[in-house]
Amino acid sequence: MTKVWFITGSARGLGHSITQAALAAGYQVAATARNPEQLQEFTEKFPDQILPLPLDVTSKEQIQQAVAQTIARFGRIDVLVNNAGFGITGAAEAFTDEQVRSQLETNLYGPIEITRAVLPHMRQQRSGRIVQISSIGGRIGTPGLSIYQAAKFGLGGFAESLSREVLPLGIHVTCVEPGGFRTDWASASMSYAPVVEGYEGTVGFVTKFLKGGNFVPMGDPDKAAKAIVNLSEHAEPPVHLVLGSEASAMLQQASEMRKAEFEKWLPVSQSTDADDAIDFLQTEAGKAYAKLKGVE
């Protein structure tokens, strides 16, 4: 049986590469974009495999319609890739209300809503793969990207919790966390908050760095797409998958810094227990709870 993929943001960037790789591998693909006419190259090359669909990931109505149309055409959804999103740079206090809402609706609420729409079908199948395209910015904070990274940190937490909910149903969840890849994320897709004074050495530096063309990504989106296609067939996929040497190095450094900070402040952490507290994690109920959380 040929697997059915549902991919958001298929028209450009990493989503374009994933769609191309999935179709080339012989899968059937519901490819979505705000403007499905941008998917013409795929419809011409893979007319029998592709279902181009209009989808604004902030529209619950369009989400429900797109999922229903995919089920009507292919009968199932085996792999969901929540890829659609965009970046924004600026000081946290400087973003407009609309910019904040747009980031959270597109990069966090949209993937959650699409996942919730697809899950009933995967639950009935007792199988499925869900790939949330996050960012290394969902693991490491960067000045100027606070709202974008708030959404990506949230997406990572959603993915990790969800993975433990649905694994007994035969559904695997992976949060893919790329570093810099050669897409238009930092150029044409990037937007900016109004400039406010006082942040010249932090947010201002990042803004100039991006606008000045100094950011030269190491990552190849086609190689990332191939890794994601291979991931969909792996028997034991990871819950978190970092992509890119740059991102891997950044995460290793950040993990060491967090560990050092945690250990430095551990006496304060432990000092807040109640005087008559017992170690809940050593009780039978606590051990069962820890197993559910994956920290046994």
Residues annotated catalytic, as ranges: 134, 148, 152
Angle separating helix axes 221-231 and 13-24, nearest 10 degrees: 50
Nearest to 12 by CA among 51, 37, 30, 38: 38
111: how many CB neighbours lie within 10 A of its CB?
A: 27
Our CA angle for 119, 120, 126, nearest 5°, is 85
Q: Strand order of the sheet with strand 4-7?
A: 50-54, 28-33, 4-7, 79-82, 128-133, 171-178, 240-243
Burial 121-147 (b: 16+ CB within 10 A, else e): bbeeeeebbbbbbbbbbbbbebbbbbb
| Residues pairing with 51 in the sheet | 30
Q: Going by C-beta distance under 8 Å and a sequence separation of 6 or more, which residues neighbour residue 30?
A: 4, 5, 6, 7, 50, 51, 53, 66, 69, 70, 73, 74, 77
**Which residue reads 């990871």 in tokens?**
238
